[in-house]
Structure 1
């Protein structure tokens, strides 16, 4: 999931930008959403505790307690992996961003040769492309096709897979949602070294496991949800967790 944040001090321009992005995401059925649109910088300084990718569209010339560049500096310090797009009427301000080392993804010129909508769509595509190309260890993402929608999900967001009622389908469980895909248990297990098959019908993300009750044959996940495990699956999962803990200790 890509969460999009907007900061523009002109209410009408903010509404227009929000509508452009929302319409494009809906038409293309992208795994993105505008989660916050503000005329002031303060709401964007509150970083949520999740693993979503974040894309910011910031007006440089904010008439507020800080400029868009200063806001970007605060955001970059808190979220090194985010993408930042500046919106401005002054192309020369692009040089100013170098001094603050905020590494913007793109600049959108309000009075540029291309329409703002064209530039916004290009920035959305570029952000998606950059995240697809970047695959850091244990924090890469998987691409799932659900109907006409393509979803990009970080491995760390996935709790577990389980076989669905419909044949040849799995249910992908996240912390606050779930969706179905056409895939086998073996295919799911092969997609990441953090996935472990603890039961005939379940593959868990062992990074999300809090406890394994071998007697009750239950696995407790980070959300508190419990899923079944087989006797052998439980033993193997405990061994996997012990190995991971030892590696962290040695490191």
Structure 2
């Protein structure tokens, strides 16, 4: 399902990991939410490995603060998740309540901080509530932000359907972007790095190109090019080709590969 909200758990205590898995899967099943438990692991690095090979994930993450003997702690993991998944919904489940303020200091913006010492029933209730809140926000975000594209020009804000956007490229002068739409081209002030963050449904295929994967009709793997229905094309960086092909396969997009 394309609108599936992916859920992740990192907990190095086997018993607590099993408990969280059961709470999450049961609550999803009972409520028939369009979401699933994608990965439950004791290793923090497993999440980063997944996100680096599966772009455009907007997930719900349940993390601890401390992972004994591992290179990453929960705060460091959350920071890296936020870099890879800008719309991540992060919940800390930990005994270290005194660390909660650090999540604000590091601008992680967690959805919740669940203290394990409150007891199993309270933890279960809070985790279930976090699932419901995250799912509600995700579905609303899908209706509002994913359907529209916004840009500012001459002090005026313009909104248009996302399916009109083919790609964005850097302009010939600094901080200028060229927006290629199905029926016209618009130039406006901006940075492609900012647009990458603002519109996670678009995919950065090259330092100069941000594309709408839904509008690609063909990818020429040998010549590193992506084509659109109107005949326009963009360069695809070698290091981005693998991720783009993975995205096309995962999203089941109708793109010719040659």
Aligned partners of 2:77 and 2:5: how far apart in 1?
20
Higher mean C-alpha deviation, range 120-129 or range 40-49: 40-49
Aligned partners of 2:148 and 2:131: how far apart in 1?
21
Aligned partners of 2:82 and 2:21: how far apart in 1?
22
Counterpart selection for 1:8 from 6, 11, 22: 11
Higher mean C-alpha deviation, range 112-121 or range 15-24: 112-121
Distance 1:212 1:3, change over 3 A: same
Correspondence for 2:156: none
Distance 1:51 1:117, change over 3 A: same
Correspondence for 2:20: 17
TM-score (norm 1): 0.56
Distance 1:208 1:26, change over 3 A: farther
Deviations 1:218-242 (A, max 9, x none): xxx94347xxxxxxxxxxxxxxxxx
Aligned partners of 2:86 and 2:56: how far apart in 1?
12
Aligned partners of 2:19 and 2:148: how far apart in 1?
34
Secondary structure of residue in 1 paired with 2:118: coil
Counterpart selection for 1:72 from 78, 85, 88: 78
Q: Quick check: which has more Rg, 1 or 2?
A: 1
Correspondence for 1:107: 113
Name the count of aligned residue pairs. 158
Distance 1:72 1:207, change over 3 A: same
TM-score (norm 2): 0.54
Aligned partners of 1:69 and 1:51: how far apart in 2?
22
Distance 1:139 1:117, change over 3 A: farther
Please list every run of 5 or more consecutive structure 1 residues that lacks an aligned counterpart in the other structure.
141-154, 157-204, 214-220, 226-251
Q: Where do residues 227-238 of structure 1 align in structure 2 (5 Å cutoff)?
A: none
Correspondence 1:207 to 2:202 = no
Distance 1:25 1:137, change over 3 A: closer
Please state how far the C-alpha of 1:212 moved relative to its aligned partner: 5.3
Aligned partners of 2:147 and 2:72: how far apart in 1?
36
Aligned partners of 1:38 and 1:112: how far apart in 2?
23
Correspondence for 1:34: 37
Please state how far the C-alpha of 1:7 moved relative to its aligned partner: 0.3
Aligned partners of 1:67 and 1:123: how far apart in 2?
22
- C-alpha contact (below 8 Å) 2:63/2:90 kept by paired residues: yes
- C-alpha contact (below 8 Å) 2:6/2:60 kept by paired residues: yes
Please state how far the C-alpha of 1:131 moved relative to its aligned partner: 2.2
Aligned partners of 2:54 and 2:148: how far apart in 1?
15
Question: Over aligned residue pairs, what C-alpha RMSD do you find?
Answer: 2.9
Aligned partners of 2:34 and 2:117: how far apart in 1?
29
Higher mean C-alpha deviation, range 11-20 or range 40-49: 40-49
Aligned partners of 2:214 and 2:124: how far apart in 1?
42
- C-alpha contact (below 8 Å) 2:64/2:74 kept by paired residues: yes
Please list every run of 5 or more consecutive structure 2 residues that lacks an aligned counterpart in the other structure.
150-161, 164-212, 219-227, 231-251
